[in-house]
Amino acid sequence: MKKIFSIFLLSVSFFAFALEPIKSGDALKDSADLANRRTALRCLSNATNYAAEKNFGAAMSQAQLGIAYDDSISDLWYVVAACSSALGNTRAEILPVLERSLEINNWVNYNRDNARLMAADILSETNRLHKALELLDSKPMLYSSDAEFVRVKIYYRLGGSDSVSKARNKIDGARRIYPTDTRFPLVFFKFENPDDLDANAKRLSEYFIAQIAQYQEASPDKDAELEIYAASFAQGEVKKRLLKSFSARGLKHPLYAKEALKAGLIDQQHAFEYVCMFAENEIDYDMFKGLILNIDDDKVIEYISEYMESFEGSVVQDTDGDGNSNILVKYVRGRPQEIFYDRNQDGKLEWTVECDFGVPVSGNFEERKMSFEWSQFPYLSSLSFNSKDKDTLAGEKFTFAGESIMWTPVLIENDEDISTKTGKNFFYPVLNPKVPEISNSQLLDAASAFEIDSLMKNGEKISFVLLNGNVTQAMYYKDNVLYAQAQFEGNIPVLRVVDFDNDGVFETTEFYDLDEKGDMEVHSLTDERTIMQNLYGVPSNGAEFYLRMVQIDTDRDTVPDFTEEYLPHGGKITSWDTDSNGKWNVRHVVYADEGKGKKEDSMFYVSPKNLLVKVAFIDGMPKEVSYGVDDLQVTPGNSGKLYWLSKNVKNLESKKYTVLESKVLDVLDGKHEQGISSIVEESDVRAICIRIAENNFALIIEESDWNENEKE
């Protein structure tokens, strides 16, 4: 690719303001756009100069800065792509930038053809062959040594007699028009089979071999790879002469072992040892295997057997026949240790697998941001999704028991040919031709548990226990500390206990139920609602689940101090048990709205006779008050924040009641709690004060009740 796009380094005339921004009619905006355009073009000029000096990092930085000012200049995107290529970035990173430059199609210095050619070459190398050919042949059709070279690769990779014939004809033409361009003979030798040449291919092979046989020393365009491939096609004395020249000049290539052995220049022991030099780094699997199978010396076979048993190195393989290796296997102690698969050679791995002495134990599926583990290969023990997409939840992890689900992108098979030759098992990964898609429903059916990141809090996870695909229990963790547990029936939460204050005690209990009649307001927590809907659809065939009741035990005596129950159509009962006897002392009831005004009751018991005080509200205003069997009067206090409850309201305007009211409010504000009553006095007046819901009450204690209370 670097040679194809060396044109990028050529200096070009720079017309700084060749393209003016379109005027919008807004003078201020036009002025700002023009200033940004000029800055972007200066950045392009700087980037071009840096690239000519091969300072690609600085060139990319300037181009990206220019894009920040004006992203409508194709040249800037092309410069970023070309520099990215020079810096060794992946094709997956480069191609979108190139496509952006072509999409904009607004050029200043360069022309669209440079980007078309570069994009076509990447598409060819990543097996998007028809799209690459379309890009080259679209008007105006690209014609150059670079374009023809890319076409040759495309035709070879397309396969079939017609496409291969076109590739050979292109090469035949190129040898006349571009006689010094050694890319064409090299691609010819790499894609052709010396044992399967038609008359035209044989003629080309003989022509190239005759040229290469004249080389006296290696040079940049006459490299070791070309010479050794030519030797693999040559015959007789020409082959020997090429191989001897190759070796005498200190050139090295793993293919030399096979060809030199075939030509009788080295023995089998030296041939295998020669290849082993490359195997310690990286070697082609088919080439390595082919050499082993051609060895018949018993002593050498014994040596190979010992070597393969402790083999440590890397093996690559081209699994789709496009001339590029797409699987890499690292060996330790003669067994696969790590496996990497890049399906279309774009530099973005599809998946990786780690092994324990040849047995896969874990891996990552990069395309779906999925990681997985096996406890008994190929049966999964866990599967995790590392990011949220349309089918999964963030951080979702499934755990499986036993042989409940079988899934793997790769199979580990014993290479029978090598094993038969060496007498020892040699295991090699083979792509699984049928990697199944797994839906959430399949995962749930097979899973014994699954875990997700909470949608409510950072650092929170929820772990679910499943039985036959149904959720039975959930544990909620914050920073790996358990703070809540829930029980499920039919995939619907029925009860959850929560430690909201993080003291290790589950003081809150939540009860859930199904809203089968559709007359409840849903009070469930956001994370649970979303989880249930995303994983199961709408629960129970369309019925929503809701929070039916909450109970809180604040003093750890196992008796709830606070209870809130939710009723149809927005109704609610809130109760407080202030003496821990299991019965409520204070209660507030909100009745369902029936269109006759919002009705509420506030109730509390008063000692010593344990009489019930009940205040009835309509639309937020108190209307009736009862005290046991008696009726009381309700009077708003002077502050507007308190209601007086009394039998006699004659003296409520006096100063002592004003002072008493202030004391009552101070006491209630200081408690920060509801449902707790207190006695407040001023002069000869005493009152029981209490806060219920949004209302403050003060019940004036009559002297007779007071005296009786004193006796108690």
Closest by Cα among 539, 543, 537, 488 to 512: 488
- pLDDT bin (cut points 50, 70, 90) of residue 186 is very high
Does residue 520 or residue 562 have the better pLDDT?
A: 562
- 221 confidence band (pLDDT: 50, 70, 90): very low
How many percent of the chain have pLDDT more than 90? 64
| pLDDT at residue 540 greater than cutoff 50 | no
- Give Dmax (Cα) for the chain: 131
Mean pLDDT over 172-201 rounds to: 95
* DSSP state letter for 540: G
Q: What is the pLDDT of residues 361-388, one digit of tens each?
A: 999 998 778 899 999 999 999 999 876 5
Which helix (DSSP H) or strand (DSSP E) does residue 700 occupy? strand 695-700
Half-sphere exposure of 488 toward its Cβ, with a 13 Å CA cutoff?
A: 20
- Establish how many alpha carbons lie within 13 A of residue 400's alpha carbon, considering only the half-sphere containing its beta carbon: 24
Six-digit token string for 174? 């190129």
Reference 331, options 271, 276, 391, 395; nearest CA is 276
**What pLDDT sits at residue 427?**
97
Q: When comparing pLDDT for 223 and 695, which is higher?
A: 695
Count of CB atoms situated within 10 Å of the CB of 157: 20
Per-residue pLDDT for 356 more than 50? Answer: yes
Please tell me the predicted confidence (pLDDT) of residue 394.
Answer: 54
- CA 292/CA 300 separation, integer angstroms: 10
Rounded to a whole number of angstroms, the distance between the first and last alpha carbons of the chain is 99
More confident of the two residues 558 and 77: 77
89 pLDDT higher than 90: yes
DSSP assignment letter at 314:
E
Q: What is the pLDDT of residues 287-319, one digit of tens each?
A: 999 999 999 999 999 999 999 999 999 999 999
460-515 pLDDT tens trace: 888 889 988 888 998 989 888 999 999 988 878 889 999 988 888 999 999 988 87
pLDDT band at 20 (very low <50, low <70, confident <90, very high): low
The residue written with tokens 């970023």 in the block is 80
* Sign, CA torsion 609/610/615/616: negative
Residue with tokens 């403050």: 696
**Confidence bin at 420 (pLDDT 50/70/90):** very high
- What does the pLDDT read at residue 30? 74
The answer on pLDDT for 217 being more than 80 is no
Q: Quick check: 84 pLDDT over 60?
A: yes
Phi, psi dihedral angles at 24 (to 5 degrees): -100, -10
Lowest mean pLDDT among 6-15, 79-88, 181-190, 524-533: 6-15
Give the list of residues 6+ apart from residue 202 with CB closer than 8 angstroms, or none.
none
Give 288 or 7, the one with higher predicted confidence.
288
To which residue do tokens 């097996």 refer?
Answer: 127
So what's the pLDDT on residue 218?
Answer: 52
pLDDT, averaged across the chain: 87
Of the pLDDT bands very low, low, confident and very high (cuts 50, 70, 90), residue 570 is: confident
Enter the DSSP assignment of 6: G
Residue 385 pairs with which residues in a beta bridge?
370
Query: For residue 271, how many other CB atoms are within 10 A of its CB?
Result: 22
**Nearest-angstrom CA–CA distance, 582 and 503:** 24
Determine which helix (DSSP H) or strand (DSSP E) holds 532, and give its type and residue range. helix 526-536
Of 553, 457, 452, nearest to 501 by C-alpha is: 553
Res. 712: pLDDT tops 60: no
Distance (Å, rounded) from C-alpha 665 to C-alpha 309? 86
pLDDT in tens, 576-626: 998 889 999 999 999 987 777 899 999 999 877 888 999 999 999 999 999
Q: How many angstroms separate the CA atoms of 603 and 647, rounded?
A: 17
More confident residue, 295 or 650: 295
Asked if residue 85 lies in contact with residue 5, where contact means CB atoms within 8 angstroms, the answer is: yes
**pTM as predicted:** 0.79
pLDDT, position 536 = 42
Spatial distance between the Cα atoms of 425 and 177, rounded to a whole number of angstroms = 52
Nearest 5°: phi and psi at 439? -85, 165
- Whether residue 706 is predicted with pLDDT greater than 70 in this model: the reply is no
User: How many percent of the chain have pLDDT more than 70?
Assistant: 88
